[in-house]
Amino acid sequence: MRRTALYSSSRAGRASEASASSEAEPAAAPAGPVQPSRISLSSPRLLWAAIALLTVLLLVTLSLSLRPLQRKLTQADINAAVLKTMETQVMPSEYARAYENIRPSVVRVISYVKKSRLKEEKDLKSAKLAVKPKALGPAPGAGPNPTDDEEVEHGVGTGVVIIDKGVILTNLHVVSGADRIKVVFSDGLESSASITAAQPENDLAVLQAAKIPDDMIAATMRSTNDLAPGDKVLAVGFPFGIGPSASGGVISGLRRVFRSPEGKQEMKNLIQFDAAANPGNSGGPLVTMDGEVVGIVTAILNPTPARTFLGIAFAVPIENAAAAAGLPPF
């Protein structure tokens, strides 16, 4: 006889649990997208912070909208500004600018001789004029005189510094025969100087100063190849010891020939100019409107005994002057 199959009661328990769980699931909330949490402005601090931020943004927006647009600068604007400046401000002249450029390099040159030498020269000149019999024995009051060794000023001229180590160009006749030479720089510094080179055919001498200023500025030299009659020039020096003085004019001619009044020397290839020059200008620079040296003032043409300026002066081209100092040509 076939036995009836027996089943465990756990199945029924599981089924009851599943039915119970299925009945409980509808009670749960249906799944869906998560909503973001909202920021609450219920706090006074957050509210005022938001108001402040909005105010700042509003002010920035207003300032940007009210700011005028920058116009592009044109050449017409630049010309108008320059013209306005020229109308309202006094501009220095060409001569004034040239003078300011060369002034730090210009020096006063003073030569000294001993009284004893002057006395000898005077006695020699007197002896040539009239030969008188010499008395026997010493002259009354004869003997060594301490004042004979004193130095007296023999001449004043001008020089220009061409190398910042204290190398100075001047005229040979300014320092020739001097027992002592002194130079005075633009800042007032005084120094002894010695002759280191000479070019007699061009009446040039090169001096070396024993002391120089700390901020010594040498002049700029320029070739004379492009010079032409009518070009503006400036002569700077110490006429009659007064200065530094400046006088302006133009180049009157080139490659001129000058013979000294005594007829002892003839100089060639000179620059002729009409800027006022007098005794004391000798050795000074002749400069262009850029303040660059093109010549060394050396002579004036005046057939009268006055030896003053009549409108014609001469300068040695700077090429010759530079050669006297051992500098290479331009």
- Rounded distance, CA 28 to CA 14, Å? 21
Residue with structure tokens 């300068």?
315
Range list of β-strands (E), the chain? 106-114, 151-163, 167-171, 180-184, 190-199, 204-209, 232-237, 245-259, 266-273, 285-287, 293-300, 313-317
Q: What's residue 141's pLDDT?
A: 46
Q: Determine the distance from the C-alpha atom of residue 320 to the mean position of all C-alpha atoms in its chain, rounded to a whole number.
A: 25
- Comparing CA positions, the residue from 313, 328, 319, 183 lying closest to residue 244 is 183
For the chain, which ranges sit under pLDDT 70? 1-42, 64-71, 117-148, 262-263, 328-330
- Rounded distance, CA 218 to CA 221, Å? 9
* Burial per residue of 155-168, b for 16 or more beta-carbon CB atoms within 10 angstroms, e otherwise: bbbbbbbbbeebbb
Tokens of residue 135, six digits: 């008395």
Q: What's residue 269's pLDDT?
A: 93
Q: What's residue 320's pLDDT?
A: 86
* pTM to 2 decimal places: 0.67
Catalytic residues: 173, 203, 282
**Domain residue spans of the chain:** 100-123+148-324
The dihedral over CA atoms of 100, 101, 104, 108, expressed in degrees to the nearest 10, equals: -80
Q: How many CA atoms lie within 13 A of 310 on its CB side?
A: 8
- Rounded distance, CA 232 to CA 235, Å? 10
Class of domain 100-123+148-324: mainly beta
Sign of CA dihedral 36, 42, 43, 48: positive
| Contact predicate 270/282, CB 8 Å | no
| Contact predicate 257/270, CB 8 Å | yes
| Contact predicate 320/172, CB 8 Å | no
- Rounded distance, CA 223 to CA 233, Å? 14
Q: What's residue 158's pLDDT?
A: 97
Q: What's residue 41's pLDDT?
A: 52
| Distant-in-sequence, close-in-space partners of 148: CB < 8 Å, separation ≥ 6 | 114, 115, 116, 119
**DSSP structure class, residue 81:** H
| Contact predicate 167/105, CB 8 Å | no
- Comparing CA positions, the residue from 52, 41, 140, 110 lying closest to residue 283 is 110
| Contact predicate 178/195, CB 8 Å | no
- Rounded distance, CA 207 to CA 279, Å? 20
Q: Cis omega (within 30 of 0) on the bond before 36?
A: no
**DSSP structure class, residue 149:** G
